[in-house]
């Protein structure tokens, strides 16, 4: 063993031993949080974290080098997983399958953290029934330029719609800029039906709050609104569950809230340092979520009433690809977000004359899922630039290929 390497810490949790390697490795430099600190955080909120992620297959989102490096996604459970880690084999729409990890206790929480997982990313199904979700997920994702008060306004509209269709919403901060609303449902419907119900919910929220909320799937068409991301209910999607730590410098947490707290709460209040005390004093605001499973019948009836959602036009080149109705140009494709931001700055330097015409939501930096990690696409919507002044599509400033060398 290297003299500089700290010995592993062995924790005994519910009768199981969990080895924490490099326990003093700093994962969050700003607050100085180590790997062992992160493990202890999850143990302090274990019941709440397991209420969100326990018993569900999960994708392992691993940060082996801490938050300053890009994570990688691992669907398949490591072969040498301990006996207290269950597994479930998921079959994806692509035709592939993966045996994924299922945690059920505090030992499982500590084990996934030791692998480098900061946030927990479970599927909306239980391991015992992989084809029928028991959770509908409402992701309120603000576009650039949207403030917290607008997100809150949309959340209360969402609550009103859920009340009208006989469902109960449980709000939590996303741990980033938005809000999630979790809805427990009876495991009776297919993924297709659950996604349709979520899309219908999003469309009804947009109908009731035009300009504030949008259900438009294509990012360049949303404007400065809150996108109700219904596609988080697709079969291959996961979201960070309750009490997950997000990879932000302040070690922010996806914190469950009561509806009375939603308007006054701010995402930055909830961190690894503050949430354990809140949990010890007040318990878990979502403690009753499993007793509130509802029916999708009313939402599916509304889907039939609204009719099919509008589909985007297709291109005339025979490819069958969707054609944007906005004047979009692509700037770069990069491996990391800092590279994406640098490419955007370079483009702005080359076209300084049009930058004052751009609105915050006109700059589109998208994290795209590659084979095992994210890559980034930078686009600019020129809708607010006078037509005669719009730059043409140019060679990409950076052209990273996430699929190079892969079959």
Helices marked H in 54-135: 106-114
Residue range 278-301: mean pLDDT, rounded = 96
pLDDT category of residue 22 using cuts at 50, 70 and 90: very high
Q: For the chain, what percent of residues have pLDDT higher than 90?
A: 73
Phi first, then psi, for residue 176 (nearest 5°) are: -120, -110
Query: From the centroid of its chain, how far is CA 155?
Result: 17
CB burial readout 118-127, b (16+ within 10 A) else e:
bbbbbbbbbb
The confidence score (pLDDT) of residue 314 equals 59
- Residue matched to tokens 């060398």: 405
Query: Across residues 338-353, what is the average pLDDT?
Result: 92
Checking phi first, is residue 389 left (phi over 0); if not, alpha (psi -120 to 50) or beta?
A: alpha
Domain residue ranges in the chain: 328-399
Q: Is the pLDDT of residue 371 over 80?
A: no
Whether residue 374 has pLDDT greater than 90: no
- HSE-CB of 95 using CA atoms within 13 angstroms: 0
Q: What pLDDT digit, counting tens, does each position of 77-133 carry?
A: 999 999 999 999 998 877 889 999 999 999 999 999 999 999 999 999 999 999 999
pLDDT at residue 189 is higher than 90: yes
| Three-state DSSP state, 275 | helix
- Nearest residue to 373 via CA among 338, 342, 334: 334
Phi, then psi, of 63 in degrees rounded to 5? -115, 70
Of the pLDDT bands very low, low, confident and very high (cuts 50, 70, 90), residue 321 is: low
Contact (CB, 8 A) for 243 and 254: yes
Q: Among residues of the chain, what percentage have pLDDT more than 70?
A: 94
Query: Confidence band (pLDDT; 50, 70, 90) for 336?
Result: confident
Calculate mean pLDDT across residues 295-324. Answer: 77
Given this model, what pLDDT does residue 315 score? Answer: 52
Distance CA 355, CA 143 (A): 18
- Cα separation, 381 vs 377, whole angstroms: 13
pLDDT at 228 > cutoff 80: yes
- Give the integer Cα–Cα distance in Å for 327 and 298: 38
DSSP 8-state class, residue 216 = -
Mean pLDDT of the region 224-228: 93
Name which of 33-42, 89-98, 153-162, 196-205 the model is least confident about. 89-98
360-363 contacts, C-beta under 8 A, 24 or more apart: 360/143, 360/144, 360/145, 360/224, 361/143, 361/144, 361/145, 361/222, 361/223, 361/224, 363/144
pTM confidence score: 0.86
Rama region for 267: left / alpha / beta (φ>0; ψ in -120 to 50; rest): alpha
Give the gyration radius of the chain's Cα atoms: 22
**Longest Cα pair distance anywhere in the chain, in angstroms?**
71
pLDDT tier for residue 293 given thresholds of 50, 70 and 90: very high
* 323/289 Cα distance (integer angstroms): 41
Q: Which has the minimum average pLDDT: 3-17, 231-245, 344-358? A: 3-17
| Strands in 105-154 per DSSP E | 121-122, 135-142
What's the pLDDT tens digit per position in 142-184?
A: 998 899 999 999 999 999 999 999 999 999 999 988 999 999 9
**Cα gap 276→283, rounded to integer Å:** 9
Residue with tokens 């955007």: 344
Check if the beta carbon of residue 117 is closer than 8 Å to that of residue 144.
no
Q: What is the pLDDT, as a whole number, of residue 3?
A: 47
Mean pLDDT (the chain, rounded): 91
Q: What is the pLDDT of residue 200?
A: 97
The neighbouring-strand residues paired with 329 are 380
């Amino acid at each position: 063993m290297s003299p500089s390497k700290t010995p592993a810490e062995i924790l005994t949790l519910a009768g199981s031993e969990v080895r924490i390697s490099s326990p003093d490795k700093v994962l969050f430099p700003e607050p100085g949080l180590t790997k062992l600190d992160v493990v202890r955080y999850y143990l302090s909120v274990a019941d709440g974290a397991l209420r969100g992620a326990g018993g569900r297959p999960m994708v392992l989102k691993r940060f082996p080098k801490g938050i300053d490096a890009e994570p990688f996604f691992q669907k398949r459970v490591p072969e040498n997983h301990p006996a207290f880690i269950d597994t479930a084999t998921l079959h994806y729409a692509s035709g592939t399958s993966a045996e994924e990890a299922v945690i059920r206790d505090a030992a499982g929480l500590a084990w996934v953290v030791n692998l480098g997982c900061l946030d927990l990313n479970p599927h909306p199904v239980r391991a015992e029934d992989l084809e029928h979700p028991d959770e509908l997920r409402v992701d309120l994702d603000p576009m650039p330029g949207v403030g917290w008060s607008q997100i809150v306004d949309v959340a209360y509209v969402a609550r009103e719609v859920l009340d009208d269709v006989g469902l109960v919403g449980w709000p939590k901060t996303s741990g980033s800029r938005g809000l999630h609303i979790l809805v427990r449902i009876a495991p009776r419907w297919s993924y297709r039906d659950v996604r349709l119900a979520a899309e219908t919910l999003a469309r009804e929220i947009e109908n009731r709050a035009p300009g504030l909320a949008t259900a438009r799937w294509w990012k360049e068409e949303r404007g400065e609104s809150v996108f109700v991301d219904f596609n988080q209910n697709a079969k291959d999607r996961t979201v960070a569950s309750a009490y997950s730590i997000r990879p932000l410098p302040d070690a922010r947490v996806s914190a469950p809230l009561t509806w009375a707290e939603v308007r006054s709460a701010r995402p930055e209040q909830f961190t690894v340092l503050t949430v354990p005390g809140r949990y010890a004093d007040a318990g878990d605001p979502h403690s009753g979520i499993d007793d509130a499973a509802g029916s999708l019948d009313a939402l599916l009836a509304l889907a039939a009433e609204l009719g099919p959602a509008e589909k985007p036009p297709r291109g005339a080149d025979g490819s069958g690809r969707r054609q944007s109705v906005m004047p979009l140009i692509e700037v770069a494709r990069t491996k990391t977000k800092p590279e994406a931001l640098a490419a955007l700055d370079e483009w702005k330097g080359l076209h300084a004359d049009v930058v004052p015409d751009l609105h915050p939501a006109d700059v589109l930096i998208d994290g795209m899922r590659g084979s095992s990690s994210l890559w980034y696409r930078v686009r600019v919507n020129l809708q607010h630039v006078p037509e005669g002044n719009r730059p043409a599509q140019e060679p990409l400033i950076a052209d990273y290929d996430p699929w190079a060398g892969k079959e």
